[in-house]
Each structure stands twice: as structure tokens, then as C-alpha cells.
Amino acid sequence: MDVYEHKLASLQTKHSHLEDTLETKAMALSQADHLISQHRCQWAEADAEARKLRSLLHESEKKKEIYREELQEASVRQHELGDQLEGKASEIKELQKVVVQYDRLVTTHSELTQRCGGEDEQLAKDKDGLERINEKLEKKQEKSQENIEDLKQQLKEVQGKYKQLETAGKEKDEVIKHQKKELSKVQEMRRMIHDMTKH
């Protein structure tokens, strides 16, 4: 009888130990499932964040390319305006030479008039012609000066835009650099979560 009771007690102890072991394993499995679920959720969030960052990075790089093209256009425009200004400056120099020649003609005409003791018909015609030339020269010089002022204003605006684009390009470089850094962090996090989920 004692032997049976001893065996029964031993079986009950083993059964109790087995139940404890099974309960511990069940808890461990439950915790593991919970962790796996948590890791999967974290991985999904990290994956969504990575996609978002990649999209932002792509958009930033597109904008940077637009800035680069606009900057190049502004640079070309600066050179064009500079060449036009030089051309107008040369034009004014030529006009100034013509004005000097005109002044000489007027002086010569005045001397001839004095020598002749007054204006004859031909000298009067010459004088009218000189006056018309003078009017044309003045108008042309005035127009050239207006063109120069307009070109200077355009150049000033283009230079301002160039500086803005240059600043915007540098800022976009910093944004891209930061976005790449953040994307790298998220990708590393994804890799770690993936590795934990495998075990």
C-alpha cells in the first residue's frame, strides 16, 4: 500500500512539474508571439517611414535639379546682359565721337558764317542739316542711355535671382543630406528588427 501511495505521490509530483513546465512554455510562447507581433508592427512602421523618407528624398533631389537648371539659366542670362551692356557702352562711345565731330562742324560753320559776313543760302541749309543731325544724335544717345539703365535693372534682378537660387540650392543640399542620414537610420532599424524576428 505504501509503495502504491509512494508511486502515486511521485506521479502526482511529476504531473505537477510537467504542468508547471507546460505553463511556463505556454507563457514563453505567448510572450514570444507578442514580441514577434510587436516587432512586425515596428518593422511595418519603419518600412512606412523609409518609404516616406525615400519619397521626400526623391522630391528634394528633383527640386535640387530644377534649382541647378534655373541657376545655369540665370548665369547665362547674366553673361548675355553683360555683353549687351558692353555693346551699349561701345555704342555710346561711338556716339560721343560723332558728337565731337558734330561740335567741330558747328564751330567750322560758325567760322565760315563770320568770314562771309553773314549766312548765305548754302550755309543756312548746312546749319539746318547740322541741327537735324544734332536732334538725331540726342535722341539716339537718350535711347541708348535708357537701354543701358534697363539692362542694368535686368542684370540687378537676374543677379538677385541667382543669389536666391544659389542659397536655395545650398539649403536643399542640407535637407538632402539630413534626409539621407534619417533614411540610413530607419534602414538600419529595419535590419535590426528583421534580424530579431528571424530568431
Under a CB-based contact definition with an 8 Å cutoff, are residues 166 and 71 in contact?
yes
List of residues 6+ apart from 64 with CB closer than 8 A: 169, 172, 173, 176
User: Which residue, 147, 162, 165, is CA-closest to 77?
Assistant: 162
Share of the chain above pLDDT 90, in %: 0
Q: Which three cell numbers stand for residue 104?
A: 567741330
What confidence score (pLDDT) does residue 8 get?
66
Q: Which residue has the higher pLDDT, 32 or 47?
A: 47
The mean predicted confidence, pLDDT, of the chain is 79
Tell whether the torsion through CA atoms of 102, 106, 112 and 116 is positive or negative. Answer: positive
pLDDT in tens, 76-134: 988 888 888 888 888 888 878 877 877 787 777 677 667 665 555 666 666 677 778 77
List of residues 6+ apart from 145 with CB closer than 8 A: 92
Tell whether the torsion through CA atoms of 8, 10, 16 and 18 is positive or negative. Answer: negative
Taken as a whole, the chain contains a residue count of 199
Measure the CA–CA gap between 86 and 173, rounded to whole angstroms: 36
Q: Which residue has the higher pLDDT, 43 or 162?
A: 162
Cα Rg of the chain, angstroms: 46
What confidence score (pLDDT) does residue 9 get?
67
What pTM was estimated for this model as a whole? 0.54
Q: Is the pLDDT of residue 27 over 80?
A: yes
What confidence score (pLDDT) does residue 199 get?
54
Q: Which residue has the cell 527640386?
A: 63
What confidence score (pLDDT) does residue 126 get?
66
- Residue 181's pLDDT band, with cuts at 50, 70 and 90, is confident
